[in-house]
Amino acid sequence: MKNEGKLGKFKPEHLGQLIFYVNAVDTLEKTDKDDSTIGLLLCKDADSYVAKTSLNKSQMKLGISKYKIIEKLPEYLERRLNEKMKTQGNESSVWVERYRRDGIF
């Protein structure tokens, strides 16, 4: 799977870049045992009509989705993270605290 993230709104040319990356992975890294690479493009915003039209005739496994940055984790995820930290010990708590400190969640 190849993921590509964009900070702004989806543009059809972003899909061309993703197709290039997917083709490169299929050509350079895929083995006979692997299925075709899936390409996922994450954008901060996307017009549904433009996205659907861009993918309309594509024979490749491609997807476009919007993402949302959140300030704070929902409570159920916070609980699960805390449970994981308790069961896995100090190692996982280091990266969780770093992400919290840096404002990622």
Model confidence pLDDT, tens digit, residues 3-24: 888 888 999 999 999 999 999 9
Range of the domain at 22: 2-66
Do 90 and 45 have their domain in common? no
User: Into how many domains does the chain fold?
Assistant: 2
Q: What is the mean pLDDT of residues 30-38?
A: 92
98 & 77 share domain: yes
Asked whether residue 54 falls in the same domain as residue 15, the answer is yes
Global pTM reads 0.63
pLDDT surpasses 90 at 41 = yes
Neighbours of 50 (CB within 10 A): 15
Mean pLDDT confidence for 85-104: 61
User: How far is it, in rounded angstroms, from Cα 98 to Cα 75?
Assistant: 19
Residues 12 and 42 in one domain: yes
